[in-house]
Structure 1
Amino acid sequence: MDGHFARSPASPRGVDTSQPSVARMYDYYLDGSNHFAADRKACEELSALAPSTKILAQNNRHFLRRAVRYLAQECGIRQFLDHGSGLPTQDNVHQVAQQVDPAARVVYVDKDPIVLAHGRALLEDQSRTAVIQADMRDTDAIMGDPSVRRLLDFTEPMAALFVSVLHCIRDEDDPAALVRRVVSAMPPGSFLVISHLVSEDPATRQATTDFMQRSTGGDWGRVREPREVAAYFEGLHLVPPGLVEISTWRQDTDLVRKQPGDEWIEYGGVARTSG
């Protein structure tokens, strides 16, 4: 195995590194270094099941950057709440937003303690950015967190990000209701950014969902249908081109690779709340 991947990071106390983590699997697909043997093995098995997954993950990261840049440059958004942010990589939300305006403020939310440890180390000298450890389903706890209250002004428009995370929410926890709670907590004129794993094929949805549920010890929701993702945006004003396979959303570079397969895709877009 390549030496880069052989040097696994130190594990925070209490973290079971024998159990794959969605955040660390995503880090592996983005050529990061904050993952363990179990994460790599799960990614290799997932890639055998869905060969386009690595490019899908990379395209999803490009979508995040484009969406944040669009909101900061063209919509004047200066505050971002990133749910299920994952491990730090290049061009994080705060880096993209603060390239437009150094005064932009960002709060990252993730429940993985490794994300918290690495995020806080990265942001040690950042007064306008914070990372909090919280379950993204607990909207009240997130909105009431001291870092959120310190950095985000709930009288001014903001953006809530759910980028490649809502498929981790089980049906019984109602991801649509989660989105509604967050939207209702934001002031008028705010924005919602979502990308979500979807498939039109029932067999593919079942196979990929079953694999991820097994691999993560049940810490996973479901690969859904495009119509289910569209329902998350009900009552909001979609930014053109609307809901699409995310590699095609407002492309601004030729570096984004076309999604090579359609066994599953990341589907989503950006929408504005009323006001």
Structure 2
Amino acid sequence: MTTRGDDSRATPVRIDTARPSIIRVYDAMLGGKDNFQADRDVRDKLLALDPEFGRASWDIREFTMRVTRFLAGDIGVGQFVDLGAILPTSENTHEVAQRLNREATMVYVAMDHAVLAHGRALLADNDRTHMAEADFRQPQQVIENTTVAKYIDFDVPMALFLVGTMHHVSDRRDPAGIVAAYIDAMPSGSYLALAQMSDPGPDHELAPLAQQVTEVYRQAGFPCWLRTPDQAVAMMAGLELLEPGMVTLADWWPDGPRLRPLSPVQRLVHGAVGRKP
């Protein structure tokens, strides 16, 4: 297979502002500025379904930060691969990791040209953080990517993030096989964090909301395929799940007591962290 992606080369940014992007919709939901009216229109449709939809987006971000703090600080993991790279925010995963472990190396993997361009500009002076252009749905392409291969040692324990990505992978692409390939490639002592929007089941009170959310995504051009928390756990076969297992993201090692009930969409977003024995 031909390796792809060298974070030293410039990627031309070609952005169709009339078409929404899932990355920019997420940015808009977090209150970012790197989005356009088409993205904000999708955001507004989601907010119409649950006015506190943004809290679920922040749950995804904060889950990633808490996992990073634990792995870099408490466990001492020194290598991170983020397969759900987003537009830069006020605090980024590599900043959290490197604040706790100055020697930590981070590789962000993305296909979105805006993410790649923003990331490369932001990281120009950071020799321990890199951007790689690859399709996370093709594990071998990621593993053989020149940037990943240069900076990540697959013989040394690492952390790999699949946060907010797998529910955008169709069944025909074998999502369980994708996760299994990454697990197989990681050495013993590595960690995988997975987070997804979940299918609550046909008889659940949130089933209509889940269906409405998927319809908004489908109409926007980036469909999603919801799976139950049990199906997500099955995708992490071979890993030892850390307590509390697969739970709503707000309940995975929260920083403090819950001050208000979870919104409907927050109850649909689940995640877990597993360690490879």
| Alignment TM-score, normalising by the size of structure 1 | 0.90
Q: State the alpha-carbon separation in 1 of the partners of residues 72 and 116 from structure 2.
A: 25
Matches within 5 A, 1:161-176: 161-176=161-176
- For structure 1, list consecutive stretches of 5 or more residues without a partner in the other structure: 1-11
Alignment of 1:186-197 (within 5 A): 186-197=186-197
Aligned counterpart in structure 2 of residue 208 of structure 1, from 204, 210, 213:
213
Give 1:25 deviation, angstroms: 0.7
- Aligned residue-pair number: 261
> Aligned AA for 2:106?
V
- Mapped pair 1:270 → 2:237: no
- The one-letter code matched in structure 2 to 1:104 is A
How far apart are residue 196 of structure 1 and its match? Answer: 0.4
Q: 1:17-47 CA distances to partner (integer Å, 9 max, x unpaired)?
A: 2111111111111111110110001100111
Q: Separation in 2 of the partners of 1:117 and 1:247?
A: 31
Letter in 2 for 1:259: L
Distance in 2 (alpha carbons) for counterparts of 1:259 and 1:224: 20
Q: Is the 8 A contact 1:166 1:175 kept in 2?
A: yes
Question: Aligned residue for 1:6?
Answer: none
Relative to structure 1, is the Cα distance of residues 144 and 121 closer, same or farther in structure 2, using a 3 angstrom cutoff?
Answer: same
Aligned to 1:63: 63
- Superposition deviation, residue 63 in structure 1: 0.8
> 1:43-54, aligned counterparts within 5 Å?
43-54=43-54
| In 1, Cα distance between equivalents of 2:106 and 2:197 | 25
Letter in 2 for 1:242: G
Secondary structure, in 3 states, of the residue corresponding to 1:62? helix
Match of 1:82 in 2: 82
Any conservation in 1 of the 2:13–2:114 contact (CA below 8 Å)?
A: no
How far did residue 262 of structure 1 move?
Answer: 4.8
- Which residue, 198, 208, 228 being the options, matches 1:225? 228
Tell me how far 1:150 sits from its aligned partner.
Answer: 1.6
Give the conservation status (yes or no) of the 8 Å contact 2:134–2:145: no
Of the three residues 244, 247, 260, the one matched with 2:247 is 244
Which amino acid counterpart does residue 194 of structure 1 have in structure 2? L
Q: Distance in 1 between matches of 2:61 and 2:266?
A: 19
Residue in 1 that maps onto 2:264:
261
Question: Partners of 1:13 and 1:157 in 2: how far apart?
Answer: 34
Relative distance call for 1:133 and 1:105 in structure 2 (3 A) is same
CA distance in 1, matches of 2:261, 2:270: 14
Moved more, 98-107 or 251-260: 251-260
Q: Distance in 2 between the 1:257 and 1:22 partners?
A: 28
* 1:108, distance to aligned residue in structure 2 (A): 0.4
Q: Is the CA contact 1:160–1:192 (under 8 Å) kept in the aligned structure 2?
A: yes
Q: Provide the rounded CA distance (Å) in 1 between the counterparts of 2:216 and 2:159.
A: 32
Q: Cα–Cα, structure 1 residues 34 and 83, in superposed 2: closer, same or farther, change >3 Å?
A: same
1:148 maps to what in 2? 148
Secondary structure in 1 matching 2:48: helix
1: CA distance, partners of 2:75 / 2:136: 25
Alpha-carbon displacement from aligned partner over 1:213-270 (angstroms, at most 9, x marks no partner): 111x2x3331222222121222210111111101111112469875222575210111
Amino acid of the structure 1 residue aligned with 2:53: T
